[in-house]
Amino acid sequence: MTVPASSRLAGHLLVEALIAQGIDTAFGVPGESFLAVLDGFHEHRERIRFIACRQEGGAAFMAEAQGKLTGRPGICFVTRGPGATNAAIGLHTAFQDSTPMILFIGQVASDQRDREAFQELDYRQVFGPGTLGFAKWVGEVHDPARLPEYIARAFHTAMQGRPGPVVLVLPEDMLASVTDAAVLPRIEPAWAWPAPCALREVRSLLLAAQRPFVIVGGSGWDANACHALQRFAEAWALPVGCAFRRQDLFDNRHPNYAGDVGIGINPKLAARIKSADLILAVGTRLGEMTTGGYTLLQAPRPSQKLIHLHAGAEELGRVYAADLMLQASMAVAAKGLETLAAPPSLPWCALTTEAHADYEANHAPVPVAPLDMAEVVKTIQRLAPIDSVLTNGAGNYSGWLHRFYRYPGLQHAGRTQLAPTSGAMGYGVPAAVAASLLYPQRTVINIAGDGDFLMTGQELATATAHGAGAGVGKLIVIVVDNATYGTIRMHQEREYPGRVSGSDLFNPDFAALAQAYGWNASRVDATAQFEPAFAAALAARRPTLIHLKLDADVSTSRSTLTAIRRVALEGRAR
């Protein structure tokens, strides 16, 4: 059935269509190319809100975070030309992270097309779909009567198979046209269940294994699916690792948990994966970061037997020639796996226990003075509510969060990790603002590097403007300031030891900057100062920024710049 409608502007129809899809929040930066849509948000302001952001990259990151948190497409509106290209970073992140998202772009009027009119771009060429593209589909709406059709297709495409971003282009004259088109009903994705014969083959491969290992990742998971995966792992006593920045898919406190399979991987875990005789990859693309540059599993044919289960048929066999490939939606894939009956005894139980013991041992850091980032993360773990959402962008500082924070799993607390597998700097602050606005009852904590923060830090104003972090849930940004692009400096010391160029930073007073945005703020120089500062942030009635001053030599959770430089120089001397 369709929803009856009366004549109104197509821009109003678009907003009504979003409401029909369950959307109550959209992010963006206003532009003259979609004024009719902005008027539609005003018309329906009791049912949906438009969050005006300070830069399109921040708005797109917020929409990407919305997609991760809700499982339905995050919504972003930007204007033509510069607005669209600014938003490209969030679109690319949604593509690489397999996040459902729709980017609406205002376009020049139809009668001005193909003249290189003011800010005109051909978005099918700019964002055209492809294996290594920005979007799953790019559509342009010319007839207002077909707008509901295009929106329905956009939602279908964004959620179906491997989720991802869609771009819809909206000529401004089309949006200002009058239409009586009816809104279409809510779109739900179709689920692909794993074939019973393939599941029987999974069981046969497991029964023939001696050292199996499960890597879980990707998108499309929900609490029930994660719970089913846990029951499957328990029944078969399987060790489970989470793919790069997907650590909230399996309870990190569970005795079957072996750790995160990503950048800065525990060397013992890396060795365990290499020595496994069977890898069961569930949901993950097995990309470069998860496979250690395609070394933990050799491409195209791993030395381990490989079962690859993924929602997108196009992903199966694209990089790895697996022994068994199954296409299935993550919402139901683990429910199929948990139907597999395990034998009374399994030969790898002791290996699973050892894997978790290695993970626990990896939580024992070497103390660092005066500011110990491991203790900072452990303090956050101890004081923050269990359902707190942790966000970060890109940089070495994130290694402490990934190594020392224990995510409780979707089935216990919902999504608690928002981090870009695309490695996009600047993601964490907008993602935190979006999470706080969407779930005001939950505490949201962003850990950002100094270079990372200043790429999107102006979105603190967006948080203040819309009251984020001023209620039950708190919004806290922790800036780790070492006055350098730390990841690049680390690589420089490895490849060109002692020859620093372009990686030093001049930074402002971050606490004063936050206060100018209406935030509480404090500075921490030593480990003992962090707990009272963080406790005060959890009790505050406004969002809080905590400025951590870290020595630049403390490069990663495992090494220092001095040690990295020394190893590099010694290697050259040999």
Please spell the DSSP secondary structure of 33-51, one letter per residue: GGHHHHHHHHHTTTT-EEE
Task: Please report how the helices 349-361 and 267-275 are oriented relative to each other, as an axis angle in degrees rounded to 10.
Answer: 160
For 381, the token pair is 């773990």
d(CA 459, CA 63): 13
Instruction: Provide mean pLDDT across the span 209-229.
Output: 97
Paired with 103 in beta bridges are 76, 167
Task: Give the total number of structural domains in the chain.
Answer: 3
For 354, the token pair is 């050892």
pLDDT digits (tens, 9 = 90+) for 78-96: 999 999 999 999 999 999 9
Which residue from 89, 104, 139, 86 is spatially nearest to 21, judged by alpha carbons? 104
Which residue would you say has higher pLDDT here, 399 or 129?
399
pLDDT digits (tens, 9 = 90+) for 377-418: 999 999 999 999 999 999 999 999 999 999 999 999 999 999
Q: Are 385 and 408 in contact (CB under 8 A)?
A: no
Is residue 367 a part of any domain in this protein? no
**Has residue 1 got a pLDDT over 60?**
no
**Has residue 5 got a pLDDT over 60?**
no
Among residues 299, 326, 361, the one where a domain terminates is 361
Task: Please report how the helices 486-495 and 561-573 are oriented relative to each other, as an axis angle in degrees rounded to 10.
Answer: 20
Report the CATH number at residue 522: 3.40.50.970
Same-domain status, 306 and 402? no
Q: What distance, in Å, lies between the first and last C-alpha atoms of the chain?
A: 75
pLDDT digits (tens, 9 = 90+) for 433-462: 999 999 999 999 999 999 999 999 999 999
Same-domain status, 377 and 347? no
Same-domain status, 136 and 204? no
Is residue 554 a part of any domain in this protein? yes
Report the CATH number at residue 258: 3.40.50.1220
Is residue 186 a part of any domain in this protein? no
Residue with tokens 């490895």: 494
Same-domain status, 79 and 227? no
Same-domain status, 354 and 457? no
Helices and strands per DSSP (H, E), number in the chain? 23, 20
Instruction: Provide mean pLDDT across the span 178-184.
Output: 96
Is residue 191 a part of any domain in this protein? no
Query: What mean pLDDT, rounded, does the chain reach?
Result: 95
Q: Write the CA distances from 315 to 161, 308, 330, integer angstroms.
A: 10, 9, 14
d(CA 73, CA 17): 13
Residue with tokens 């939580």: 363
d(CA 382, CA 404): 12
When mean pLDDT is compared across 38-47, 75-84, 100-109, 124-133, the lowest value belongs to 124-133
Paired with 169 in beta bridges are 105, 140
Same-domain status, 423 and 341? no
Same-domain status, 379 and 417? yes
Is residue 316 a part of any domain in this protein? yes
Q: Are 251 and 409 in contact (CB under 8 A)?
A: yes
When mean pLDDT is compared across 53-67, 122-136, 226-240, 421-435, the lowest value belongs to 122-136
Residue with tokens 């074939």: 195
Strand order of the sheet with strand 324-327? 257-261, 240-243, 212-216, 278-282, 305-310, 324-327
**Has residue 98 got a pLDDT over 80?**
yes
For 111, the token pair is 């009668």
137 Cβ contact partners less than 8 Å away, ≥ 6 residues apart: 129, 153, 154, 157, 166, 167
Same-domain status, 219 and 351? yes
Same-domain status, 352 and 378? no
Per-residue model confidence (pLDDT) at position 2: 54
Is residue 315 a part of any domain in this protein? yes
For 106, the token pair is 């205002």
Q: Are 67 and 76 in contact (CB under 8 A)?
A: no
Is residue 368 a part of any domain in this protein? no
Same-domain status, 320 and 379? no
Dihedral angle of Cα 56, 62, 68, 73, to the nearest 10 degrees: -60
Instruction: Provide mean pLDDT across the span 247-267.
Output: 97
Same-domain status, 332 and 445? no
d(CA 439, CA 88): 26
d(CA 359, CA 259): 6
Is residue 184 a part of any domain in this protein? no
Same-domain status, 269 and 399? no
Among residues 361, 393, 408, the one where a domain terminates is 361
Q: Are 182 and 5 in contact (CB under 8 A)?
A: yes
Among residues 179, 213, 241, the one where a domain terminates is 179
Q: Are 456 and 423 in contact (CB under 8 A)?
A: no
Boundaries of domain holding 276 = 196-361
